[in-house]
A and B are shown apart, each in its own frame.
Chain A
Amino acid sequence: MTEPRYTEVVALRARSLASFEQVAAKCLEANPRLQSVVLGVSQYFADEAADAVHESLFAFPDREPDWPHRCTYEAPVPGESRCNRCDASLGYGELDSNTEAVFAWSAFCAEWGGGEGDSALVDPIAIARRGAGGTVEFELVFGLVRPWLDNDRVAQTRDEETWDETDPPKPEPVRPPWADDERPLLDAVYARPLDPGPRRVLVDHWLERGDVRGEFGALSFDEPATPEARARRDELARLHGRSWVGPLQPVVSLWGARFARGPFPSRVVAWFDDVEDAERLAGLEDWAVVEALHVASSEQLFSKAMRGLTELTGVNEAGLFALQRSGLSAPIRTLGLRGAVTSSMPWSPTLEGVETLLIERAGSDLAGSVALPCWPKLKSVEVWFALEDPMQSPAWGDDRATEALRVLGPKLPPGATLTVGYLLGNGARGGVVAIRAAGSAEVTLESRLFSGDDARSRAEERLRSAARPHTEVTPVGPPPSAAGAGEPKAASPSALRRFLSRFGF
C-alpha cells in the first residue's frame, strides 16, 4: 500500500456513502410508499477485540424515521410500541464489517457495548429522503463521538499485530515549508485571521506560482457556481487537506478538519489526551486561522494563538479554567459546554460576546446552571441531553426538557430562546423536545429524527401535562429539512458530493 492510511480511511467513508446514495435512490424509486432511507452503524465489541461495525439500512414510510429504532421482531422499548412500518430488507451496507467498516466508522459509533443484531443499538449516519420531482435529498446526521479513533496513528495500530515484522507507521503528508516570499503574507493572515484580504493576497500568490493551494483557495471563498468547480474543490481538499493541517496534525482528527477561505483549517476537532508535546502544539501560530474549535478530549489546552476563534465547543470545566489561564482574547460568539455546569466554573472575559450557548451532555442535574452568567449578547441557549440508553423510554426526554425549562427558562435574557433536545448515541441530534422564547409562556414541540406520528402525539401530550399550568404546548408542523434549508430542495447525486465536501471528502 503506497498511500498513507488516512487516505484509505477517508476513501472508505466516501465509498460507503456513495453506495448508500445509490441503494437509497433505487429503493425510493422502486417503492412509492417509502419516504426515507437510513444508513445506520453499530459497533459490536467482541471478546477478542475482533470487533465488527455493521452498516444497516432501513427504509421508512415517513420523511422522519423512527429513532431510536426497534424493529417488529425485537423487544419493544418500555412504554412504546415497536416500529412496524420500516423495511429492513435492504440489508447491510457496502463495507466489510470486520475490517473496512471498523476502519471507516468506529469513530462515529456509540459505545453501547453490544450491537450484534440489535437494531436499537444502531445509530444513524445518513438519511436519504424523497425530494421533489423524483430527486433524493441526503443528509449526514452524526457527530464524532470517539475522536481518538480518527487519527493517522490508529489507522496503523488497528491492524492485528502478528509474528511477522510490522511495517513502521507511514508518515502523514507534510505541509511544504513556507518560502521566504510567503512568510510576510502568511504573517498578515495570522495577524488578521478573520479578514479575507490577506488571505486573498496569499491565495493569489499561490495561484501565480501554480501552487495547488492557490487553485483550492480560489474556489473556497464563495460557493463555486458549477458542479465541476465544486467537485474540483472537494477533490483538492480530499487529496491535500491533511497536509494543510500542517503541524496541528497530532491533535486534529482526520474527519475533524474543514477548510474555508483558503487552504486553512477553519473548523477542527482537537484531541489533546495522551499527545506528546501537547502544550507546545496548543501554542503554535497555526491556530490563528482556526475559527471553530471543538475540543473532544478531557485535557483541554488553549493559547493566545487561537485569536481567530468565533466558535468554541466541547469545553469542560477544566477547559474553562485553562481558557481563563491562557489569556486568550478571541471574538467567540458560540460557546459549547460539555458535562454538568457547576457554580465554580470560571468565565473568561473573552466569553463576554457569546451569543449562542450550547450545553451538551449535562446529565440530569442542571442545578449548577443557575450560576451561568447573563452575557449581554446572549440570544440562544441550547441544552442537548445525551440518550443514556437506546431502550430509554421517550418520556425520559420530556422529563429532561421540563427540568431544563424550569431551571434555565427564568434566566433567559429578553429576546433569547431556549431549545432542549437530545443526542443519539453517536452524537447525532435526535430531536428537539422543546423550544421556549424568553418572556413567553408558550412552549413548542418539534420532532426531527425520532418517532412517527403516534409517538409524536404521545410526546406532545406528555410535555403538555408536564408544562401545565404555566405553559401551553403548541405542536408545530414538520421541521425544515435537516440541512436547515427550509423547503425540500431538489437534490441529486451531486448534492451528496457537495455535502461531503463540508466534511473533507
Chain B
Amino acid sequence: MLYLALSCLQGRPMSGALDELLALGPDGVQLTPGNHPTPRFAERVAAVRTRTHHGFSFTHARHAVWRDDGRCAVSSDSVHPPQRTHPAAATFFDAEHPVLETMYPGYALGSGSELEAAMSRGLPLAVDVSHVFLQREAGVLGEATWRRLQDYARVVEVHVSKNDGRTDAHQPLTAETFGLEWARAKLRGGTPVIVESYLHRSPADARRAQVALFDQDRS
C-alpha cells in the first residue's frame, strides 16, 4: 500500500490537507503531527485507510511522545526514538514501545551501530531512507549495515523523501532519490511505503508525479 503522509502538507488544516492528498490517489494517508486540527476530522478520516505516526493528535498539532522515564506515551504505528539529549534516551530501548524509525545523528537509532543492535534484537523497524541517507553522508552508516537493513525481515514500514545529505529537508522525490528503488521493491513485496515529501509549493502535476513514481509497484 502506498500512503501519503499528512505532513506532505504540514501546517495546513487537517481536513483540507486530507482532501488534497486523497485527490492524488494514494491507497491511504499516514496521520502525522504538525497539522492544524479541524472539527470532526476523526469522523472524516474514518472512511480512509490510515496509519498513524509519532505524536499525531486529533486535537492538537502534536502529542508528546516520550516520558522522561523512557515510556512511550502514544500508540502510533511507528514513532521516532528520542533525541540523544532526552532523558528517555537512556532507557526507552528496553521499555515497551511502538515500531521505531531509523533516525539520523542526534537521535537514538541514528547510527549504524545502533541499527545493528536493533536488528540483532529483532526489533521491527520503520526505515526512513532519507534518514539512512543522512547517516550515510555523515559517515556513521557503513555499506554492510545498509545492506543488512535492506535485507532485514522485520522492516514493517518504509518512509521516503529526498534531502541533500545535510538536513532532513523532505524534498519531493526524483527517480534518482537515494533508496527509492529499494522502497519500490518493498512496496511490491507488500510493505507499506509512505511518501513524506513537502508538497506545499508543488503544482498539481508535480504532486501527481510523486505518486506516479510508484504506479508500477502497486497491486
Interface residues of A (CB under 8 A from B): 43, 45-51, 106, 111-114, 116-117, 146, 148-149, 153-154, 157-163, 166, 273-274, 276, 298, 388-389
Contact = CB atoms under 8 A, between A and B. Distances in A.
22 contacts: A43-B11, A45-B10, A47-B170, A48-B65, A49-B34, A51-B10, A106-B11, A111-B198, A111-B200, A111-B201, A116-B167, A157-B36, A160-B55, A160-B61, A161-B63, A162-B73, A163-B67, A273-B15, A274-B13, A274-B15, A274-B39, A389-B201
Given A49-B55, A114-B167, A160 B13 contact: no
Contacts of A50: 62
Contacts of A388: 201
B39 A276 contact: yes
A110 to B, nearest CB: 9
B11 A51 contact: yes
Contacts of A160: 55, 60-64
Contacts of A273: 13, 15-16
User: What are the 3 closest A-B residue pairs judged by CB atoms, nearest first?
Assistant: A49-B34, A113-B198, A161-B60
Interface string B32-49: 111011110000000000
B64 A163 contact: yes
A248 B6 CA distance: 30
B73 A163 contact: yes
For this complex, into which size category does the number of interface residues on chain B fall? Answer: 35 or more
Contact of A274 (B34, B38, B65, B170): B38
Nearest to A43: B11
Contacts, number: 98
B81 to A, nearest CB: 11
A46 B198 CA distance: 11
B60 A159 contact: yes
A45 B73 contact: no
Interface in B22-77: 32-34, 36-39, 54-55, 57, 59-65, 67, 73
A61 B7 CA distance: 40
Nearest to A298: B16
A51 B34 contact: yes
Contacts of A112: 200-201
Nearest to A107: B11
A46 B104 CA distance: 13
Given A111-B201, A162-B73, A389-B201, A157 B168 contact: no
A47 B61 CA distance: 12
Contacts of B38: 274
A106 B36 CA distance: 12
Contacts of B16: 273-274, 298
